[in-house]
Amino acid sequence: MNQAELIQRAVQILREGGLVAFPTETVYGLGADARNAEAIGRIYRAKGRPSTNPLIVHVAGQDVARRYAREWGPEAQRLAERFWPGPLTLVVEKDPSIVDVATAGKSTVGLRAPDHPLTLELLRRFDGPLAGPSANRSTRVSPTTAQHVREELGGAVDLILDGGPCSVGIESTVLDLTSSPARILRPGGVSRELIEREIGVVGEFSGSVGESEAASSPGQQAVHYAPLAKAFLFGRGELEGVLEWCGRHMEQSWAVMLIGRWERAGSFFSRFGEGNGRPRLVLEMPEDAADYARRLYGMLRQLDGQGVETIFVEEPPADPPWRAVRDRLRRATVPFTPL
């Protein structure tokens, strides 16, 4: 099938209540018609997602968004004009045609126009609201390639559209426009600074709106967006302690994800060598926040695939460009405490 035929097929599947995985600039989504309660039920089952967690609804652009929002105020208009298509989800009061199961019973819906040519074409042809959470099992790492989706959800999806690797790599910013002032529920590709330039000061929810309503429970947060391996976050000054731990646990397989300069662990390797057949890795992650975000989920998946049991992740800098990455890492890991 050529691309036009594939998209035609995808539209047909969606109209018949099926599931289509689709690429976006952030992560791959698992799509169904947001007006079809049965199809939405299939999404929740495929993901193993708690029915209390609302789905994002994708649209081709503002014109379609207006149809599925009860109100589309000046803030929504301004932000959509500036950032759509792009990694910004706007939470607004929903139109009744969006079924309640799609929004977990909430009166609001998160709308976003994704910046990917294949999916924008799909959305234009579908001409409706495409509910689409990330195409992973609930609490797991979001997929950033079609292959990730195949591995994780293959059998549960009617069609996977392959649009190549995602260019942003972590999920969109979720901005609640129904509170006053507006409030960031999840940091992502569009920064708070950029949003504030358009609509003035916004709040930020510092807990977590993750894969379930775990906002109140740090323990639950720890498993969101998480790899299968045990994952620890360590401070920049704690590398010695981490390497000591690794030295004491040579029977295990582990990986240390540094930000740049893997040579910092060089003396460690001259002391302990490479281990016998079990992966023991010191990895150099990008020093640029956007590059890091693009690589993060793929790296966690790769380490799981290699059977790594423990992952140590170096904490990124505290400055604004790293905010979304820090948020995801906080939820994928627990803090390292030297034992």
The residues binding ligand TXA (CB under 6 A) are 24, 26-27, 29, 53-56, 87, 89, 91, 103, 106, 108-110, 112, 114, 132-134, 171-172, 174, 185-186, 209-210
Q: Which is nearer to ligand TXA, 84 or 232 (CB)?
A: 84
In the list Mg ion, ligand TXA, none, the entry touching 66 (Cβ below 5 to 8 angstroms by class) is: none
Catalogue the E-assigned strands of the chain.
Answer: 20-22, 29-33, 56-58, 88-93, 108-112, 130-131, 159-160, 173-176, 183-186, 203-204, 230-234, 254-259, 280-285, 310-314, 334-335
| Closest to 332 in 3D by CA, of 170, 102, 165 | 170
Residue 172 touching Mg ion (CB under 5 A): no
Choose, by CB under 5 A, the member of 24, 119, 134, 208 that binds Mg ion.
134
Q: Which is nearer to ligand TXA, 18 or 29 (CB)?
A: 29
Q: How far is Cα of residue 318 from the mean position of the Cα atoms in its chain?
A: 20
* Choices 72-80, 87-95, 134-142, 173-181; region in contact with Mg ion by CB under 5 A: 134-142
SS (H, E, C) 205-253: CCCCCCCCCHHHCHHHHCCCCECCCEEEEECHHHHHHHHHHHHHCCCCC
At closest approach, how far in Å is the CB of 103 from Mg ion? 15
In the list ligand TXA, Mg ion, none, the entry touching 143 (Cβ below 5 to 8 angstroms by class) is: none
In the list ligand TXA, Mg ion, none, the entry touching 132 (Cβ below 5 to 8 angstroms by class) is: ligand TXA
At closest approach, how far in Å is the CB of 242 from ligand TXA? 30
Q: Which is nearer to Mg ion, 103 or 134 (CB)?
A: 134
At closest approach, how far in Å is the CB of 155 from ligand TXA? 20
| Closest to 209 in 3D by CA, of 34, 46, 45, 54 | 54
Q: Which is nearer to ligand TXA, 131 or 282 (CB)?
A: 131
Who's near 21: CB < 8 A, 6+ residues apart? 28, 29, 30, 31, 135, 146, 149, 153, 157, 159, 160, 161
Residues lying near Mg ion in the complex (CB under 5 A) are found at 134
